[in-house]
């Protein structure tokens, strides 16, 4: 490996209203590809074929503190999907199929109830590491509800989430026979019914913002959680006896609509609210845990879909990933580059994908910046509706994209033809000069859902809230390279995209994991879930790209001259498929990329070229498609 975003504002996306009650009646959609045959263990490349690489994914569901009579397993299992096939989400928003991702996961579930000794040891461990403190602001807000069934009393235990996760992983391995290296696990926790119960929340307090030093996990009560996972491996726990909390708004048991969109929000209350006279009928507890398993753990963490096609951002053979940041200085008294540690950002990105060569280039566009760039941010931020290129798209949200797209060469120099350049335009300015802007967003091309440019915004007010440019850069480039949030995604069997609103409000719980792709701001790294999914997407993508090029090579009269390159590609492909089968996804992606580079090199020697075309219908410019801009949650706490 060589070395040389985040968000304030609004969410711009129109989502279809779906009622959970209606979902029960939906029959999972038929799969157009049918049941693709499984790949033979030692299969190499298959010229001209688009292969669907299948894998059985075991999912363990472990109950700790729940009794068998508490859980209606058929009601829980009724929500569990049998399989998952990733799609390119942004293409779906435009009514396009997107590239065939070439993956199918067959999901197998095993439920376990921890025995009394396991539970005694676990809750004794939690008691031992809990730091006593006063109830959080949101536990106090729960106490102020008119319909709460009890009051949270102190001292409250503040428990390190990664430590609790690690205990569960090791105990699951040694005492429950769970293989954490070749399966995913959900732990459902209930401490409430035990005599040693104490009110508690989970924390992660070791990752302040690298630019500002602000420690969200320590300082903000909105970051006191009821779930966590991914710090140590492929497991995630969800504890309804913790909290109540802010993140999924389960402290509010009085109001149906908590986000102000005039739609009732489906939330899972604290476990003691599953009672006669409580917020939820106790009979639906098992179904609710099934919802969390499907719509959070499986769809958003364990097996998920990319927001953008990762292979669009693939460098050519021998090329580099280039992160080019153009800093636009609009603030007289501060320097945007003082709040951007690009070496830090590149290090995190290169740890996500170490099989690429990485470069980072930062250019400081000093005052006065071009008038067009100044106007673009003012239009985007709602300070003016002056006619400009946005009119062709019928949305002022398009102004940043269309301005920089039309003037790209005035800002970004030419790079090597085999490099992939991810361009980031950063504005350092006060909100008075930018208007209502987010921390940042990874835009598409406003035609077919292909990623285009990253935009990010910072200044005195945003830095006072705790954010510099560095974590915004990592988060938004994570999107640009393909990663979705852990709170919104695609359901493969039902065939719809969803975000944490209305019937899926509880999906906010997915943010409580070790991923910078969340909004919760307690961690600035990519999680094991991010890496597993990225490596699988690229493993299948690169091998299918190689398959497409290999068909052209075999039809060439001089194919014998590149026999060595093709043989090397097959060796890499064979190693990749073996590694995929063994859950060594990093090796699988690395070797698949090597297979593609070998085939692409052979194609170039034969004059065939190394590029793989994307089969996408280009639409006219439109502002009617969904657009995703990430808001910061709980800006005042």
Say if residue 278 is in the same domain as residue 320.
Answer: no
Dihedral sign, Cα of residue 175, residue 176, residue 177, residue 181? negative
459 and 312 in a common domain = yes
Q: Which tokens is 381 given?
A: 């931020």
313 and 450 both lie in a single domain: yes
- Final residue in a domain of this structure, among 302, 321, 336: 302
513 close to 237: Cβ distance less than 8 angstroms: no
Could you give the angle at which helices 528-554 and 342-352 cross, rounded to 10 degrees? 70
Q: What CA–CA distance (Å, rounded) separates 232 from 165?
A: 7
The predicted pLDDT at position 621 comes to 57
Q: What is the phi-psi region of residue 233: left when phi exceeds 0, alpha when psi lies from -120 to 50, beta otherwise?
A: left
In a domain, 630, yes or no: no
Domain of residue 96 covers 48-302
Q: Give the CA radius of gyration of the chain.
A: 25
Pairing of strands 420-428, 357-365: unpaired
Bridge partners of 361, per DSSP, are: 324
Among residues 426, 453, 482, which one ends one of the domains?
A: 482
Whether 133 and 270 map to the same domain: the answer is yes
Regarding whether 278 and 176 lie in a shared domain, the answer is yes
| DSSP-derived secondary structure letter, 606 | T
Helix (H, G, I), strand (E, B) or coil at 566: helix
Q: Is residue 509 part of a domain?
A: no
How far out from the chain centre does Cα 568 lie? 34
Q: Quick check: is 611 in a domain?
A: no
What separation in angstroms does the CA of 457 have from each of 211, 263, 511, 622? Answer: 14, 31, 22, 24
- The residue to which tokens 């974590």 are assigned: 471
To which residue do tokens 């695609």 refer? 490
Distance of CA 448 to the CA centre of its chain: 21
Q: How many CB atoms lie within 10 A of CB 625?
A: 19
Three-state DSSP at 410 gives: helix
* The predicted structure's pLDDT at residue 331: 87
**H-state helical runs in 177-231:** 216-219
Tell me, what DSSP letter sits at residue 105? E
Contacts of 271-277 with CB under 8 Å at 24 or more apart are: 271/190, 271/192, 271/240, 271/241, 272/149, 272/150, 272/192, 272/241, 273/148, 273/149, 274/240, 275/149, 277/149
Q: Are residues 179 and 258 in the same domain?
A: yes
Answer yes or no: do 353 and 269 share one domain: no
Q: How far, in Å, CA of 167 to CA of 169, rounded?
A: 6
Number of domains observed in the structure of the chain: 3
Structure token pair of residue 30:
């038929």
**Exposed, middle or buried, 49 (CB in 10 Å: 0-12/13-18/19+)?**
middle
CA distances 169 to 180, 219, 532, Å, are: 7, 28, 18
| Cα 526 to Cα 15: distance, rounded to the nearest angstrom | 27
Residue with tokens 């969410």: 11
Residue 495: inside a domain, yes or no? Answer: no
In terms of Cα–Cα distance, which of 263, 261, 258 is closest to 246?
258
How far is it, in rounded angstroms, from Cα 467 to Cα 43?
A: 48
Give the containing element (helix H, strand E) for 605.
helix 585-605
Please indicate, yes or no, if residue 369 is contained in any of the structural domains: yes
In 3D, which of 177, 71, 169, 179 has the Cα closest to residue 125? 169
Q: Is residue 166 part of a domain?
A: yes
**Cα–Cα distance measured from residue 546 to residue 255, given in angstroms and rounded to the nearest whole number:** 54
Q: Is residue 621 assigned to a domain?
A: no
160 and 210 in a single domain? The answer is: yes
How far apart, in whole angstroms, are the C-alpha atoms of residue 452 and residue 194? 53
Strand runs labelled E in 39-179: 53-64, 83-84, 103-113, 131-133, 156-160
Q: How many Cα neighbours within 13 Å face the side chain of 255?
A: 15
* Residue 382, φ and ψ in degrees, nearest 5: 85, 15
Q: What is the mean pLDDT of each run of 10 residues along the chain (637 residues)?
A: 33 37 36 40 80 98 97 98 98 94 98 98 98 98 98 97 98 98 98 97 98 98 98 98 97 96 97 96 97 98 98 95 96 90 98 98 87 97 97 96 97 95 97 96 95 97 96 98 98 97 98 98 98 98 96 94 95 98 98 97 88 46 59 70
- Examine the domain organization and report whether 264 and 328 are in the same domain: no
Distances (CA, A) of 475 to 6, 44, 236, 345, 449: 6, 35, 21, 9, 19
Longest Cα separation, the chain: 80
Q: Hey, CA dihedral for 507, 512, 514, 519, is it positive or negative?
A: positive
Query: How far is it, in rounded angstroms, from Cα 537 to Cα 540?
Result: 6
Residues 15 and 131 in one domain: no
Question: 342, 340, 303: which is closest to 322 by C-alpha?
Answer: 342
Of the three residues 461, 482, 503, the one that is the final residue of a domain is: 482
Residue 125's H or E segment, with its range, is helix 116-129
Angle at 513 (CA atoms; ends 152, 450), nearest 5 degrees: 135
Confidence (pLDDT) at 365:
84
Contacts of 594 (CB under 8 A, 6+ apart): 569, 572
> How far is Cα 430 from Cα 38, in angstroms, rounded to an integer?
56
Kindly state whether residues 289 and 320 are assigned to the same domain: no
As to burial, measured by CB atoms within 10 angstroms (0-12 exposed, 13-18 middle, 19+ buried), residue 416 is middle
Q: 489 in a domain, yes or no?
A: no
Same-domain pairing of 281 and 329: no
Find out whether 169 and 181 touch, Cβ atoms under 8 Å: no
The span from the CA of 93 to the CA of 623, in Å, is: 12
Q: What is the pLDDT of residue 134?
A: 98
In whole angstroms, give the CA distance from residue 298 to residue 44: 29
């Amino acid at each position: 490996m060589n070395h040389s975003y985040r968000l304030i504002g609004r969410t711009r996306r129109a989502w279809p209203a779906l009622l959970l009650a209606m979902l029960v009646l939906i029959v999972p959609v038929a799969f157009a590809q049918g049941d693709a045959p499984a790949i033979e263990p030692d299969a190499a490349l298959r010229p001209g074929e688009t292969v669907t690489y299948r894998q059985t994914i075991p999912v363990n569901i472990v109950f700790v503190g729940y009794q068998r009579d508490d859980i209606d397993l058929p009601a829980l299992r009724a929500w569990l999907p049998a399989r998952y096939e990733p799609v390119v989400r942004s293409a779906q928003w435009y009514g396009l199929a997107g590239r065939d991702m070439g993956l199918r996961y067959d999901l197998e579930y095993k439920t376990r109830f921890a025995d009394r000794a396991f539970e005694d040891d676990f809750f004794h461990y939690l008691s031992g590491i809990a730091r006593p403190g006063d109830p959080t602001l949101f536990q106090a807000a729960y106490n102020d509800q008119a319909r709460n069934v009890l009051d949270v009393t102190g001292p409250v235990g503040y428990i390190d989430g990664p430590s609790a996760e690690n205990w569960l992983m090791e105990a699951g391995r040694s005492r429950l026979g769970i293989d954490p290296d070749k399966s995913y696990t959900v732990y459902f926790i209930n401490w409430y019914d035990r005599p040693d119960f104490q009110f508690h929340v989970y924390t992660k307090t070791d990752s302040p913002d690298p630019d500002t030093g602000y420690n969200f996990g320590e300082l903000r009560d909105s970051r006191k959680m009821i779930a966590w996972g991914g710090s140590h491996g492929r497991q995630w726990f969800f504890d309804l006896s913790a909290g109540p909390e802010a993140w999924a708004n389960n402290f509010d048991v009085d109001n149906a609509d908590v986000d102000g969109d005039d739609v009732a929000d489906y939330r899972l209350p604290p476990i003691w609210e599953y009672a006669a006279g409580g917020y939820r009928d106790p009979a639906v507890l098992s179904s609710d845990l099934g919802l969390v398993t499907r719509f959070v753990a499986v769809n958003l963490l364990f097996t998920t879909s990319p927001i953008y096609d990762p292979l669009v951002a693939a460098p050519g053979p021998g090329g580099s990933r280039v992160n080019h940041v153009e800093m636009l200085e609009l603030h007289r008294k501060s320097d945007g580059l003082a709040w951007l540690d690009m070496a830090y950002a590149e290090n995190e990105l290169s740890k996500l994908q170490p099989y690429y060569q990485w470069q980072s280039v930062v250019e400081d566009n000093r005052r006065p910046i071009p008038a067009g760039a100044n106007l673009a941010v003012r239009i985007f931020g709602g300070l003016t509706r002056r006619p400009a290129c946005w009119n062709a798209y019928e949305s002022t949200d398009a102004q940043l994209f269309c301005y920089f797209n039309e003037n790209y060469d005035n800002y970004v120099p030419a790079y090597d033809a085999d490099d992939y350049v991810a361009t980031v335009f950063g504005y350092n300015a006060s909100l008075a000069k930018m208007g209502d802007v987010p921390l940042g967003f990874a835009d598409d091309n406003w035609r077919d859902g292909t990623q285009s440019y990253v935009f990010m915004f910072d200044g005195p007010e945003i830095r006072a809230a705790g954010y510099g440019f560095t974590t915004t850069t990592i988060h938004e480039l994570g999107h640009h390279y393909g990663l979705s949030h852990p709170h919104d995604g695609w359901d493969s069997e039902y065939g719809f995209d969803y975000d944490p609103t209305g019937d899926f409000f509880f999906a906010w719980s997915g943010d409580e994991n070790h991923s910078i792709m969340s909004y919760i701001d307690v961690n600035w790294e990519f999680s094991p879930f991010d890496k597993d999914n990225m490596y699988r997407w690229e493993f299948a993508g690169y091998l299918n790209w190689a398959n497409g090029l290999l068909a052209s090579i075999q039809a060439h009269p001089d194919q014998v001259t590149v026999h060595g390159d093709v043989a090397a590609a097959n060796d890499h492909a064979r190693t990749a498929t073996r590694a995929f089968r063994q859950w060594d996804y990093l090796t699988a992606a690395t070797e698949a990329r090597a297979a593609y580079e070998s085939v692409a090199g052979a194609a170039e020697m034969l004059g065939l070229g190394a590029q793989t075309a994307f089969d996408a219908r280009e639409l006219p410019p439109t502002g009617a498609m969904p657009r995703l801009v990430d808001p910061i949650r709980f800006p005042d706490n």
